[in-house]
Chain A
Amino acid sequence: MRKSTTFGRVSFKTIAYIILIFLTIVSLLPFIIMLVNSTRSTFEIQQRSLSLLPSTFLMSNFEVLTGKTFDPIVGFINSSIISVSATALTIYFSALTAFGLIAYNWKMRQAFFSVIMAIMMIPAQVTSIGFYQFMYRIGMTNNLLALILPAIAAPAAVFFMRQFMLPTLPMDILDSARIDGAGEFYTFNRIVIPIMKPAMATQGIFSFVASWNNLFLPLILLTSNSKYTMPIMVSLLRGDIYKTEYGAVYLGLSLTVLPLFIVYFSLSKYIIAGVALGGVKG
């Protein structure tokens, strides 16, 4: 009896590891091909597309890539401006709103929270025509602020912060701060924000990534090359001018992935924990 269980366990583990390793290859291989091919010349890629040996054409690919419309530096700067500002606004104002929802007993509180939950799932894309027309009328197309300011109202982030705050925020701290004569705003900035740091970090990573990867709204709002974000730069690689420049296309793709790889692999522990946290409360 015992023998057969041990045998069963060993064969289960063997099968499980074969599948897990296969999935690992499926997850990583496209990116490995991309990185390797970004160092190979178009001629080499045409001869043998699938190779795991890097070559020496990185620089010439870079020259071809940046000699046309693709400008990784402009894209990187614009994406950074938008993502950093939008993330800062989202985490600060979401924490503030969540604090207002928890710490004070006001009449509209429950109704307000219900509205936040109801609109949480509605994606910005379905109302993009109205948003575009509105921005066009007030001359905000080609203005990065049009992609930054809406981040102040992030229902999902408020929801998450509230869930985090409910059990962790000690209400007597508020009372003692009041006795010491601290204003409510001061209390929020000096006492609540430090307590909220873990939640703000988690939410910060996700809103940064979401903002960095956003394609739809920037694509309709930004028409001037100098305002293009990284995903729009990437979409240029799909155009005719890069049609036969395989090496350069792979390099362009790699350049957009590298910053995300660095962020992801250095923060993976927090990101994985953050996803799990989102799931439990969801």
Chain B
Amino acid sequence: MRSHKGISYAKYGYIFSIPFLVAFLIFSLYPTIYTAIIGFTDLKGLGKTDFKFLEDPLQNFKLIINNPSFKISLKNTVHIWIMNFIPQIGLALLLTAWFTSRGSKLAGQGFFKVVFYMPNIITAATIAILFNSLFQYPMSPANDLIQRLGIVDEPFNFLVKKNVARYIVAFIQFWQWYGYTMLILISGVLGISPEIYEAAECDGANSVQMFFLVTIPNLKTILLYTLITSMIGGLNMFDIPRLFMMGGPDNATLTTNVFIYNQAFSGSYMYNRASAASMIMFAIIAFFSMIVFFIMRDKDEVAARKSRKQMLKEYKKAMKEAKS
């Protein structure tokens, strides 16, 4: 074995990384730089690829920042994300508390997990159009239901009310993602050392106290991770708002990605302005993903090192005790 150390295998590290690196340079890095460049040019019009840099290089960025539709779309995106995330994390935490409760075990957990996660894997495009069909006016399953339950006498036109349309989009997001968040949190709870719970039990803590004083503090990292990844996903919302109401009614469900799509691929095909808007979103998302990067880097390396040290310590301690 020692003799093999003489041969350097390091070059295989480079060789095995080449395919990834090449694909990344061509299909990710180059398009990113290209998008950034287009943001400073006059590139617009269907089928156009040649461009000139603008005299005022920041013109597109200025136009986008001052564009009322972009402002609305940014506001909508954040608004819809918050309306979906707060109930989502709340319900996910409640279900996590129930499913990991040490006192009373609920039967059928496997079934509920499968059902609650299911909407997450169904094509978002399909779900958007399905919900559009469910809420049609005057006759649709939702209208049928509220009339039969006696909530209203007349059919209700859900899709022309700005707030209602936004709530439905937020609800779809919530409905698609709470199961996922729940599974992540449950696996986080299962990773907490049972000894901590046993100690809390000895101190006479009840299950509600244990949840708030043991579970939540120990889930901090995972909660932060969930928050930020959900935010990045929320800032990218496209399929649901685009196909549910095409950003309408009256721009009520226009998100930044729908705005970018409309700028670049309809009307006068303003690739330059769409690129400027993309780069603004890119900067925001890059900022948030840096936070995820630091959370995970620390957690990853530090946790591994810690647990190894801890194990070694305990092992030594046990050996000492056995000897004495």
Instruction: Report which A residues bind B (CB closer than 8 A).
Output: 9, 12-13, 16-17, 20, 23-24, 26-28, 30-31, 33-34, 37, 45-50, 93-94, 96-97, 99-101, 103-109, 112, 114, 117-134, 136-137, 149-150, 152-153, 155, 158, 163, 175, 178-179, 184, 188, 209, 212-213, 215-216, 219-220, 230-232, 234-235, 237-238, 246, 249-250, 253, 256-257, 260, 264-265, 268, 271-272, 275-282
Contacts and interface: CB of A to CB of B under 8 A. Distances in A.
A4 B129 CA distance: 49
Contacts of A20: 106, 108, 112
A133 B34 contact: yes
A12 B104 contact: yes
Given A13-B104, A237-B129, A33 B134 contact: yes
B28 A152 contact: no
Closest 5 CB pairs of A and B: A100-B16, A130-B34, A130-B35, A121-B289, A104-B13
A212 B123 CA distance: 8
B184 A122 contact: no
A90 B14 CA distance: 18
Contacts of B265: 219-220
Interface in B137-162: 139-141, 143-145, 148
Contacts, number: 298
Contacts of A234: 123, 125-126, 129, 243
Contacts of B121: 209, 213, 260, 264, 271
Interface of B: 1, 4, 9-17, 19-24, 27-28, 30-38, 43, 47, 49, 98, 103-104, 106, 108, 110, 112-119, 121-127, 129-134, 139-141, 143-145, 148, 175, 179-180, 183-188, 190-191, 222, 225, 229, 232, 236, 238-239, 242-243, 246, 257, 260-261, 264-265, 271, 274-275, 278-279, 281-282, 285-286, 288-290, 292-293, 296-297, 300
A129 B132 contact: no
A257 B123 contact: yes
Contacts of B33: 130
Nearest to A223: B265
Nearest to B264: A129
A256 B130 CA distance: 11
6 contacts: A30-B127, A119-B24, A275-B183, A276-B184, A279-B183, A279-B222
Contact of A272 (B27, B114, B127, B246): B114
Given A27-B118, A49-B140, A137 B49 contact: yes
Contact of A27 (B24, B115, B125): B115
B28 A282 contact: no
Contact of B261 (A33, A104, A106, A216): A216
Contacts of A45: 139
Contacts of A31: 122, 130
A256 B122 CA distance: 9
Nearest to A121: B289
B124 A122 contact: no
Contact of A24 (B28, B110, B115, B134): B115
B117 A9 contact: no
B289 A122 contact: yes
Given A97-B16, A125-B257, A230-B123, A9 B103 contact: yes
